[in-house]
Amino acid sequence: MKRYEAILFDIDDTLLDFKQSEHVALEQLLASYNVRMTDEVKERYVRINSELWRAFERGEVERDEVLVGRHTKLFDSLGVRIDGPRVEQQYRDFLHAGVHMVDGALEIVRTLSEQYPLYIVTNGVTETQFKRLESSGLLPYFQDVFVSDATGSQKPMKSFFDYVFERIPNVAPEKGLIIGDSVTADIAGGRMYGLDTCWFNPNEVAATIESTYEIRHLHELKSLL
Ligand SMILES: [Mg+2]
């Protein structure tokens, strides 16, 4: 096994179950506007949100357009008038209040941190991601945390990885491994930058891009690394 000098972890749906936190936060948000979250409403939100984040990854829209736009689009479709930025703040408050761990995350991070310098690389909102890392107990195991809105660009952009590797002293990208669930952000981004990649694919989706490793459960990292 290659001896890695830096291991870069994605957060959402890799270490923390963002889908579960998002589900609960959205349910609470809708309830505060007297809207019941049906499967259809939920699916609509997920589609709107992921379309906007994809556009953000391609550099087509600003972060704030994603954060506010997802709510205005959803509530528009439900015929409810809202104040977008205010709703985003309410949503974020709900999101901060609940953190759900991916099975095995804390244990594997604790174990790997004894052998490797670990870093966080995430597309998201700095305040949210720090709060979630803190309340999950994961934060102390990481040397540094790189959140896209503080770096000025996002995975999979080269400039995001440039920013990260300028701040990880004396480690060449070839000595790094990125672990994440997103084919577009983590795997394509990591490959493009010369990192080894580990695709966390718990739902066994068919691969559309080659990765160095593929795992279904985080505990598989123990035998890989
Ligand atoms: Mg992710």
Q: For 5-40, what is each residue's pLDDT tens digit?
A: 999 999 999 999 988 998 999 999 999 999 999 999
Q: Please report the pLDDT score of residue 98 as a whole number.
A: 82
| Residue 11 domain boundaries | 6-17+101-224
Catalytic residues: 10
Is 67 in the same domain as 87? yes
pLDDT the model gives residue 128: 86
How far is ligand 1, taken at its centre, from the CA of residue 34, in Å?
30
**Which stretch of 28-32, 74-78, 97-101, 171-175 has the lowest confidence by average pLDDT?**
97-101
Residues 45 and 71 in one domain: yes
Separation between Cα atoms, residue 210 and residue 152, nearest integer Å: 28
Domain ends where: 43, 63, 97? 97
Q: Of all residues in the chain, what percent carry a pLDDT higher than 70?
A: 100
Is residue 138 within 8 A of residue 105, CB to CB? The reply is yes
Q: Quote the CA–CA distance of 88 and 57 in Å, as a whole number.
A: 20
Taking the alpha carbons at both ends of the chain, their separation in whole angstroms is 7
Q: What is the pTM assigned to this prediction? A: 0.81
Confidence label for 60 from pLDDT (cuts 50, 70 and 90): very high
51 shares a domain with 142: no
Q: Are residues 122 and 12 in the same domain?
A: yes
Are residues 216 and 132 part of one domain? yes
Q: Which of 59, 77, 97 is the last residue of a domain?
A: 97
CA 11 – CA 185 distance, rounded (Å): 12
Distance (Å) from CA 8 to ligand 1 centroid: 12
For residue 1, being part of any structural domain is answered with no
Q: What is the CATH number of the domain that holds 152?
A: 3.40.50.1000
Distance (Å) from CA 13 to ligand 1 centroid: 5
DSSP assignments along the chain, one per residue: ----SEEEE--BTTTB-HHHHHHHHHHHHHHHTT----HHHHHHHHHHHHHHHHHHHTTSS-HHHHHHHHHHHHHHHTT----HHHHHHHHHHHHHH---BPTTHHHHHHHHHTTS-EEEEE-S-HHHHHHHHHHHT-GGG-SEEEEHHHHTS-TT-HHHHHHHHHHSTT--GGGEEEEES-IIIIIIHHHHHT-EEEEE-TT-PPPSS--SEEESSGGGHHHH-
